A and B are shown apart, each in its own frame.
Chain A
Amino acid sequence: MPKPYTILLGKTVRYIARLRGGGSALPGLFVERIDPQFVAETLAQLPQGVVLISGTNGKTTTTKMVVQLLESQGMKVFTNRTGSNFVRGVAAALLGEVDSHGKIDADIAVLELDEAHAVHFVNQIKPRHSLLLNVMRDQLDRFGEIDATARMLEHIAKATTDSVTLNREDPRVAAIAEKIETASVNYFGLGQALRTQFPSDDDMHGISQKLTTPPDADVTLSSFKDDIATFTIDGKHITTPLKLQGIYNIYNAAAALALVRSISSDIDEPVLISTLAAITPAFGRGEALVVNGHPLELVLVKNPSGFRLGLQSFSPDGYATMIAINDNYADGRDMSWLWDVDFDSLREAGVSELSGSRAYDMALRMQYDEVTVSHVETNLSTALRHFIAANPTIPKRIYCTYTAMMTLRRELAKITDVEVIS
C-alpha cells in the first residue's frame, strides 16, 4: 500500500495543477519524486493485475476498446484515459482514482504505454497480459531505429507473466513469439483478402518476407465493407456493424478481441460483440465533429504507414482536405517521413489547405506528387478559419500530426456551432 502522505500531497498537487488548467505531468512527476514506489504499490493491489498495450500505431483506440470490452464483462477497469502514455501519466491517473488510504477500486488496469516508457515500466511492474500492435517508422529521431523499437517490444513481452497477444501480420512483432519463455502467445490477424490493404513499411519497399506457414490467429479480421466487419474468432465467423472508421481501427478491434479473450476465458460473446459495435473512435482517430452543419473529421497521422492507411481508408471524393504538419518533439522533428507516403490519391480532388510549422515541406511534397494546393498558411488557427470559410458547403477532413491536432481541437472548440458528436 502506498504511503498516505504521498496520496495527500499528490492529490493536492493534482488539484492545484487542475485549477491552473495544467496537464497530468506535474502531479505525476511530483509523486514519482517523493515516492518512487507509488505506481507499483498501487497497481499491486489489483486482483487481475496489469494489462499493457504498446506499439507504434493505434494504442489509444485499442486501449479504449479493451477497456469497454472488459467493462462489458463486468470488470472494473482502471486506465490512463488522458492519453498521457508515460509512467508519469499513469501516476497522475492513479492519483485521481485512489482514496485517501491509497486503495483503488478496480479489478484490473489497462495501460497504454509508449514503447520506450513501457520498457522502464515493466522493469518495475510485470504486466500479466500484454498486447503488441505493430512496429512502424515513427519518430526515428527519438528511438534511433525500427529494430531498436522491436527490441523494446520484445523486452515487454519477456516481462509479461501470463499471455502476450501479437500482430501476426507484422513480421517484427510476430517474430517476438520465438523469444517468449514464460507467457503463452496468441495472435490477431487478417484474412487473405485484406492483407494487401495493409502495406507494412517493408512491403512499401518491395520486401516480402512473410512467414511460410503463418500461425493460426485466435481472432482474424476476415472482411470489412461499408461499416460491416466479419471476424473469425476461434474458427467461428461473426459479422457485426461498427461505428469505428478506417480499416486500421477495425483491425485494432481484432487486436482488442484477441487480448480480451486471453484475459478472460469466461466471456459473454453476444454482449462482447454488441459492445464492440457501439464503440466510437478515440479523439483524433477518425473522430467526427460538426461545423456549420457539415461534418469535419480529424485524422491523426504520425508516421508513413499511418498516413498511407489513412489515405486508403478515407475517400477524398466530396470532401475538402486539409493537412497540418508540425515538427515539435511529439510529432517527430525529421520531415523525411512525408517522402515515404504516396499522395497520388489526392491528385484528382487536390488539397484545400496546408498548415503547421512544416506546411511548406508538405507543399513541396505535394508539388512532387503533382497534387494541387489551394492555400498554405503556417499558422494553424488562421489556416483552420480559412479552410472552413473556403469550403462552406461540403464535408471536411483534416490530416494532422499530434501537436497540430491538439491546437486544432482547441481552435475548433472556440468556433461557434461546433458540436462534439463522438
Chain B
Amino acid sequence: MNKKPLNILQLYPQDMNIYGDHGNTLVISQRAKWHGYTPNLLTYNPGDIFPDTVDIIVGGGGQDSGQDKIQEDLLSIKERLSTLADNGTPMLMICGLYQLFGKFFKTQDGHIIQGIEILDIETHAGTERLIGNITTHSSQFGDIIGYENHSGQTFLGSSVRPLATIIKGAGNNGQDDTEGAVYKNVIGSYIHGSLLPKNPAIADFLIEQAAIAKFGEFTPTVIDDRFAELAREHALKRPR
C-alpha cells in the first residue's frame, strides 16, 4: 500500500554529506511516516537522471573536494531546481549546498565558484573557521539550536530573509547577527548537529508544505518530542 507518497530527494549524498546530513533526511522521512505519509527516499548524484516528481529536497555540506565534484553538475540542473523553488517546493540546504544555492562563492585567492542563484546570497572565503555550538531565534520556528563549522562568510541580498537571528555563535558571517536564508520554501542554513532532529518544527514545516502542495492539506499527528526538548535543553547548557 503506497498511501500518500512523498518523494524526498537527497541531493549529492555521495559528495555532500559531511556533517551528519543523513540525519536531516532520516528525520523528514520518519516524521513524514509518523504523520501518515509514505516517504520515498530518492538520491541524486552527479550524472544521474533528475527524478520527475520531487516533493522535498535536502542537501548537505561537503569538503572542498566534494564541492568541486558536484559544482558542474549542479549548474546543469539549475533550471529544474529554480522552477521547483519558484513553485514552492520545500528544500533544506545546509552549509556547502547552502552556499552553492547562492550567487557565488569567492575563494581565498579570488577564484569565483558559480552558484545556481536560487538564494540571493553571496559567500566569501574567510580567514578563520567559525566553529562551535550555536543558538539562534526565528519568529517562525522559535529557537534553532545546533552546531556550526564553516569558513565561508555569507551575506544576504534583498530578495531573501534571514532564517534566524543569532543568540550565541557566528551564523552567516559573524558580523550582522543573521543565520541562514529563506526564499519561498527554500531554507538555507549553516546549522548542523544535525539540524532537524533537535529542531523538529523545521522538519514539520517542510513536510507540511510538501503535503499541502501535493494533497491540498496537512493534518499533523502528535509526535512525542520529549527527547528533542531535553536534547535542546542540554545543548543550551553546553559551552560554545
Q: How far is the CB of B14 from chain A (nearest CB, A)?
A: 5
Contact B63–A334 (Cβ < 8 Å)? no
Distance (whole angstroms) from the CB of B90 to the closest CB of chain A: 19
Q: Which of B15, B197, B228 contacts A339 (CB 8 A)?
A: B197
Q: Is A339 in contact with B129, judged by CB distance below 8 angstroms?
A: no
The reply to whether A361 and B147 contact each other, CB–CB distance below 8 Å, is: no
A386 beta carbon closer than 8 Å to chain B: no
Number of interface residues of B (CB under 8 A): 39
- Restricting to B6-33, which residues have a CB under 8 Å from any CB of A? 13-15, 17-23, 26-27, 30
Asked whether, in the complex, the Cβ of B234 is within 8 Å of the Cβ of A364, the reply is: no
B43 at the interface (CB under 8 A from A): yes
Q: Which residues of A contact B231 (CB under 8 A)?
A: 358, 360-361, 363-364
Query: Nearest-CB distance from B28 to chain A (Å)?
Result: 10
Q: What is the CA–CA distance of A360 and B193 in the complex, to the nearest angstrom?
A: 13
A340 within 8 A of B: yes
Taking A145-B64, A357-B238, A363-B231 as contacts, is the C-beta distance between A337 and B30 under 8 angstroms? no
Q: Do the beta carbons of A333 and B133 come within 8 Å of each other?
A: yes
Establish whether residues B22 and A378, one from each chain, have CB atoms under 8 Å apart when the complex forms: no
Neighbouring A residues of B45 by C-beta, 8 Å:
206
Which residues does chain A contribute within 8 Å of B19, judged by CB atoms? 140, 334, 336
The distance in angstroms between the C-alpha atoms of A378 and B235, with both chains bound, is 12
Residue among B43, B194, B224, B234 with the highest chain A CB neighbour number at 10 A: B194
The digit string for A113-157, where 1 denotes a CB below 8 A from any CB of B, is 000000000000000000000000100110011110000000000
Given contacts A146-B63, A361-B231, contact A336 B17 (CB under 8 A): no
B residues 149-195 touching A (CB-CB < 8 Å): 149, 151, 192-194
Q: Which chain B residues in 85-143 approach chain A with CB under 8 Å? A: 129, 131-133
In the complex, residue of chain A having the shortest beta-carbon distance to the beta carbon of B223: A367
Distance to closest chain B CB from A358 (angstroms) = 7
Minimum CB–CB distance from B148 to chain A (whole Å) comes to 9
- B2 contact set on A, CB distance < 8 A: none
Interface residue from B26, B233, B235 paired with A368 (Cβ < 8 Å):
B26
| Option from B20, B30, B192, B227 in Cβ contact (under 8 Å) with A363 | B227
B212 on the A face (CB < 8 A): no
Decide if B234 touches A336 in the complex (CB within 8 Å): no
Proximity string of chain A (357-389) to chain B, C-beta cutoff 8 Å, 1 when within and 0 when not:
111110111111000000010100000000000
In the complex, whether B221 has a CB less than 8 A from a CB of chain A is no
From B13, B15, B192, A336 is in contact (CB under 8 Å) with: B192
Q: Are A141 and B14 in contact, with the CB atoms below 8 A?
A: no
Q: Chain A at the B interface: mostly helix, strand, loop or mixed?
A: helix
Would you call A206 and B193 a contact (CB within 8 A)? no
Verify B26–A340 contact, CB threshold 8 A: no
Residues of chain B within 8 A of A207, CB atoms compared? 14-15
A364 to B195, CA, bound (A): 12
* Contact B14–A364 (Cβ < 8 Å): no
CA distance A205 to B61 in the complex (A): 13
Q: Is the beta-carbon distance between B227 and A206 smaller than 8 angstroms?
A: no
**How far apart are the CA atoms of A140 and B131 in the complex, in Å?**
10
Chain B residue numbers with a CB within 8 Å of A233 are none
* Interface residue B42 (Cβ < 8 Å from any Cβ of A): no
- Chain A residues with CB under 8 A of B129: 144
A338 CB-CB contact with B under 8 Å: yes
Other-chain contact of B235, A137, A144, A361 (Cβ < 8 Å):
A361
Q: Which of A191-219 contact B (CB under 8 A)?
A: 202, 205-207
Across the interface, B43 reaches (CB within 8 A) one of A206, A339, A357, A364, namely: A206
> Are the C-beta atoms of B193 and A336 separated by less than 8 Å?
yes
Taking a contact as CB atoms under 8 Å apart, the answer to whether B230 and A360 are in contact is yes
Contact mask A234-277 → B, CB, 8 Å, 1/0? 00000000000000000000000000000000000000000000
What chain B residues lie within 8 Å of A367 (beta carbons)?
224, 227
Query: What CA separation (Å) do A137 and B54 show in the bound complex?
Result: 31
CB distance from B108 to the nearest CB of A (A): 14
A78 vs chain B, min Cβ distance (A): 36
Hey, which chain A residues are within 8 Å of B193, CB to CB?
334-336
Q: Decide if A32 is an interface residue (CB 8 Å cutoff).
A: no
Distance (Å) between the CB of A350 and the closest chain B CB?
15
Is B219 in contact with chain A by the CB < 8 A criterion?
no
Taking a contact as CB atoms closer than 8 A, the residue among A337, A360, A364, A378 that contacts B20 in the complex is A337
B53 at interface by CB-CB < 8 Å: no
CB B228 to nearest CB in A, in angstroms, measures: 6
- State how many angstroms separate the Cβ of B190 from the closest Cβ of chain A: 12
Question: Chain B's nearest CB lies how many Å from the CB of A382?
Answer: 15
Interface 1/0 per residue, B197-240 and A, CB below 8 Å: 11000000000000000000000000010011011011100100
CB atoms of A333 and B198 under 8 A apart: no
The minimal Cβ–Cβ distance linking B41 to chain A, given in whole angstroms, is 12
* Residues from chain A with Cβ under 8 Å of B27 in the complex: 368
Interface flag for A419 (CB, 8 Å): no
Does B234 contact A358, Cβ atoms closer than 8 Å? yes
* Closest B residue, CB atoms, query A144: B129
Q: Mark A394-417, 1 if CB is under 8 A from B, else 0.
A: 000000000000000000000000
Q: Contact: A145 with B192, CB < 8 Å? A: no
Minimum distance in angstroms from A59 CB to a CB of chain B: 23
Contact A368 B147 (CB under 8 A): no
A327 at the binding interface (Cβ < 8 Å) = yes
A147-B65, A334-B193, A357-B238 known; A368-B18 Cβ under 8 A = no
Q: Give A358 to B197 CA distance when docked, in angstroms.
A: 13
Residues from chain A with a CB closer than 8 A to the CB of B149 are 140-141, 144, 334
Is A360 within 8 A of B14, CB to CB?
no
Query: Which residues on the A side are within 8 Å of B198 (C-beta)?
Result: 361, 364
Which 3 pairs show the lowest CB-CB distances between chains A and B? A339-B23, A336-B20, A339-B20
Instruction: Identify 5 residue pairs between A and B in the complex whose beta-carbon atoms are under 8 Å apart, listed by A's number.
Output: A206-B43, A333-B147, A339-B23, A340-B23, A364-B198
Where the two chains meet, the residues of A that have a C-beta atom closer than 8 Å to any C-beta of B are 137, 140-141, 144-147, 202, 205-207, 327, 333-340, 357-361, 363-368, 376, 378
